[in-house]
Structure 1
């Protein structure tokens, strides 16, 4: 409950800041007596849709520490923590990025995630459940997967894509709402009617679903690439073994908020694949096995 409340409070604070900025600078005055001011609406849509995504990303390491209870390993206290730090350092050097912070969070579910605004100032965190249930070669592959996310710039790319699609949703939903208002305007001229408000909300929901399909489709595509990166950093068979270990796990708790898209596991799919951030584990394993088979064929 504490995690959920902190996520909600952070998002509300971000929205409040954006609202104040737009009100002070007049960016929210896109409705005029002569109709829509498309330039003002475009600025409003971009600010409202994208700024929040990047503020959340900039705060993601702080949010992870506070909401997920991630404990950063400043000085390794035992051999396991020393191994974690050394493994991430070695993989980061191989991937050509700066050393990420390495952390551990309490969760019985085997999972891990990466976050951060910059490639050279990221965070890689693993759950206690992952450390307790996986072999070292499997944990190494999971770490490689997360380091690959950082090296690929996935966090910034996802924030950018989310922001752009949010802006499109806001922009076109307002235009649709205004069109409904114009169609239902009475003989006295009318204004921004209740029909426009309802039309905007419905359009925003429909367009939001379409945007979610695009975002999640890209998220699934980038998971295959992170698996490929993990296989290069830790070995293809180790990456396969890690995914099979996740497949066998009876605990598949999904991460919260923006961290869900960057976890090693997306949890059990309860909705259509179109709205899942992760491909099915069997598809990811099959892709790695195919790559391994192709590599062996080339070598032979």
Structure 2
């Protein structure tokens, strides 16, 4: 529920800023064709610019943001055997996956976790937690690294950005249509947009945003299954299953909410809450690997 609350709060803040800025700049005049009806073409273009713009900005700064949020330290020169092994393993897997060598980093967290992010397949970031290195053996860490390398090779960050952009576009587009309808048809306001438009648009943005987030989370769960399969190919199915079982038993300390969908470890929520989960339950992921790699 914390993530849902954060999502709602973020959308409220974005919409408030959006409404204020567009009103000050007079953008609404370009979206209102006759003074009584919306110009849907202009509105769709406007919504797409905002929807995709925010997503791509997030993608561009994703590596910088990830380092800031987690405190991840990039290994420029290995200081010990563990760091040297990490670099060699990532380099070998990246070569097999057909991508450029990512930056490799370690972040301080007692819980076993890892993530991959970045705008380009050939310039990504792969990071593991100190807890992962302490609680897993080399075979299991190798599988986790393979999982993250597969995320990069599959282009998951770009695809997720495109999906988020499409979703954002239609949330903005539809919420303004609803706001316009309520303002003109129900409240009978015939000049400009009144308070009813702004309030209704705000509420519609929140409702549509919550519904749309289930689409994004569904895709995120599917990409975890694909990354698990990729990790099994790069490191071996037995190692990948063992790593997931270790994650299942270990204490969980989620990544910051902004990074949650990029980590390998998810949450243990079930029922309707699964609609808002970026990761499938680990037991489902283990079952999927066992079905595709029968012993």
Q: TM-score, normalised by structure 2?
A: 0.88
* CA apart distance, 1:189: 3.1
The alpha carbon displacement at 1:65 in A equals 1.9
> Residue 241 of structure 2 aligns with which residue?
240
In the alignment, is the contact (CA less than 8 A) between 1:184 and 1:195 conserved in 2?
Answer: no
Q: Secondary structure at the match of 1:245?
A: helix
Matched ranges for 1:6-155 at <5 A: 26=27, 29-31=30-32, 33-155=35-157
Offset at residue 21 of structure 1 (A): 10
Moved over 6 A (4+): 19-25
Matched, 1:196 2:197: yes
Counterpart contact for 1:27–1:44, Cα < 8 Å:
no
Looking at structure 2, the residues matched to 43 and 233 of structure 1 have their Cα atoms a distance apart, in angstroms, of 42
SS of the equivalent of 2:119 reads strand
1:212 is matched with 213
Deviation at 1:46, TM superposition (A): 1.0
Q: Which moved more, 1:146-155 or 1:190-199?
A: 190-199
C-alpha distance 82-25 of structure 1, shift in aligned 2 (>3 A): farther
1:229-268 matches, within 5 Å, as 229-249=230-250, 251-268=251-268
Alignment of 1:156-235 (within 5 A): 156-186=158-188, 189-235=190-236
Cα distance in structure 2, aligned partners of 1:23 and 1:118: 36
Structure 2 gap ranges (5+):
1-8
Q: Unaligned regions of 5+ residues in structure 1, if any?
A: 1-7
Paired with 2:29 and 2:50, the residues of 1 have a C-alpha distance of 10
Residues in 1 aligned to 2:128 and 2:173: alpha-carbon distance in whole angstroms: 39
Aligned partners of 2:171 and 2:212 also within 8 Å? yes
Distance, in Å, in 2 between the alignment partners of 1:280 and 1:193 is 46
Moved more, 162-171 or 25-34: 25-34
Question: In the aligned structure 1, how far is the partner of 2:28 from the partner of 2:186?
Answer: 26
Distance 2:96 2:169 in 1: 37
In 1, the alpha carbon distance for the partners of 2:233 and 2:31 equals: 50
8 Å contact kept, 2:267–2:277: no
Deviations 1:85-109 (A, max 9, x none): 0000000000000000000001111
Higher relative contact order (CA 8 A, sep 6+): 2
CA RMSD, Structure 1 to Structure 2 (Å): 2.7
Give the Cα–Cα distance (whole angstroms) in 2 for the partners of residues 245 and 111 of structure 1.
11
Quick one: structure 1 residues 143 and 172, their matched pair in 2 at CA, closer, same or farther if it must change by over 3 Å? same
